[in-house]
Chains A and B, each alone.
Chain A
Amino acid sequence: MVTLFAVFLLTLLVLTAIAVVQTKNLFVAVMLMGIFSLLMATVFFILDAADVALTEAAVGAGISTMLFLATLALTGEHEKPSKKGPWISGLVVAITSLILIDATFEQPYLGDPMAPVQQHVAPWYLEMTPELMDFPNVVTAVLASFRGYDTLGEVFVVLTACIGVLFILSAGPGAPNPKSPRIPTAPSVGLRHHLIPRVVGKLLIPFIVLFGLYVQFHGEYSPGGGFQAGAIIAAGMILYALLEGEKQALKVLPQSVLIGMVVGGAMLYGMVGVVGMLMGGNFLDYSVLSSNPVSGQQIGILIIEIGVGLAVCGALLAIFHAFAARRSVG
């Protein structure tokens, strides 16, 4: 029955994707992408991937929509008609989808116990997590400890991406393009005239941040962790910026602090690994951090999750503010 639900939602997903490609109005495309994200997250949830569903909800439906809208505020709203015929891209898409459809026949069925993914290291992770770390969320254990190198890499990818986006956005406006004159805008004032959203929004911000902290520090026991918490807290701060204007938000958390959060988060993660080496273990082997290997693992995971949360939160907010600053400079 639940599989039928997933099939139904996946059908809606495909329809939404087609509509996104079809529409020429980019704002509509952004709205449909929001729906796409919500559907995707629900499908993840139905397939029992709660951590991924939480990430998809926070990043896909929340932050991406905001960044898309921030981009649209800088550019036009209508897609430029493409001069080239759709034949080449259509051919590529057709061939790729044929190959992919062919590949699905070789895929194991959903939940097949003989599938390679169930045979390889997964049983070992499931068996060893209670023994080595003594908490129930295996996803956090895999992410933070067993595959700590990968997550460290991801954090540095976030750092690199943040630096790249900031470089591009903080470049000067350049020569004015005669075809699309830059649109000067009013200085950001926030939603000053909308009393009801402001009151309700400001009432909710503390709870959003509190929930983000819960996701951060409860990640070993329930779905969540640094990535999701960073995105949720960033969403809460963006809500503040929406209500009070970006200037006011920058007074609370200046750009330098945000950059410091990104760099500091990544460094914190790396430092845990180095400290582990100094204490006689391997890089990112948390067992040596405490006299008891289990509590050492827990301390290590806690600290690196804080690092991940700081880095993600700082990066998202820095990018958001870079868009806003670009808009008001115009």
Chain B
Amino acid sequence: MFYVVSIAIMLTMALALVRAFLGPSVYDRVLSVNVFGTKTTLLLAVIAFLYGRPDFLDLALAYAMINFIGILAVLKFFQVRSNQQQKNQLPGDDLNDNRD
């Protein structure tokens, strides 16, 4: 049963990864990182049971925390970036037009 769950989660990770590759906006990529982080947390929890070593759940807990801080750091980055652009009246919005 744990195998089924892990496979489902890993397929979801793959889907989120494809979304991260495709973009198109930077927010989509941040979203996929977020999805990816949550799925990693779940996957670790499931695999800890698969291995029969529940003390490894500490790692899943750490992942949940770190992922959240990462997303807030990105948010802060956007804020700093938009402050910079307001000050400089830079033409165009760098964050929306990225097409690699």
- Interface residues, chain A, with chain B CB atoms under 8 Å away: 1-2, 5, 8-9, 12, 15-16, 19, 22-25, 27-28, 31-32, 34-35, 38-39, 41-42, 45-46, 48, 50, 53-54, 57-58, 61-62, 65-66, 69, 72-73, 77-78, 183-186, 190-191, 194, 197, 201, 204, 207-208, 211, 214-215, 222-224, 228, 232, 235-236, 238-239, 242-243, 327
Contact = CB atoms under 8 A, between A and B. Distances in A.
Interface of B: 3, 6, 10, 13-14, 17, 20-21, 23, 26, 29-30, 32-33, 36-37, 40, 43-44, 47, 50-51, 55-56, 58-59, 61-63, 65-70, 72-77, 79-81, 83-84, 87-88, 94-95, 98, 100
A183 B81 CA distance: 10
Contacts of A191: 72, 75-76, 79
A61 B29 contact: no
Contacts, number: 164
A15 B17 contact: yes
B13 A185 contact: no
A186 B36 contact: no
A206 to B, nearest CB: 12
A35 B33 contact: yes
A19 B17 CA distance: 10
B73 A12 contact: no
A185 B65 contact: no
B29 A28 contact: yes
A5 B33 contact: no
B68 to A, nearest CB: 7
A61 B10 contact: no
A28 B58 contact: no
Specify the main secondary structure of chain A where it touches its partner. helix
Nearest to A198: B72
Given A24-B100, A69-B77, A224-B58, A186 B83 contact: yes
A48 B52 CA distance: 12
20 contacts: A5-B6, A25-B26, A27-B29, A28-B29, A28-B98, A35-B33, A45-B56, A46-B47, A65-B74, A69-B73, A69-B76, A73-B81, A183-B84, A184-B84, A184-B88, A185-B84, A211-B65, A232-B66, A235-B65, A238-B69
A61 B44 contact: no
A142 B60 CA distance: 24
B40 A41 contact: yes
Nearest to B37: A38
Nearest to A136: B55
A62 B17 contact: no
Contacts of B29: 27-28, 31-32
A197 B73 CA distance: 11
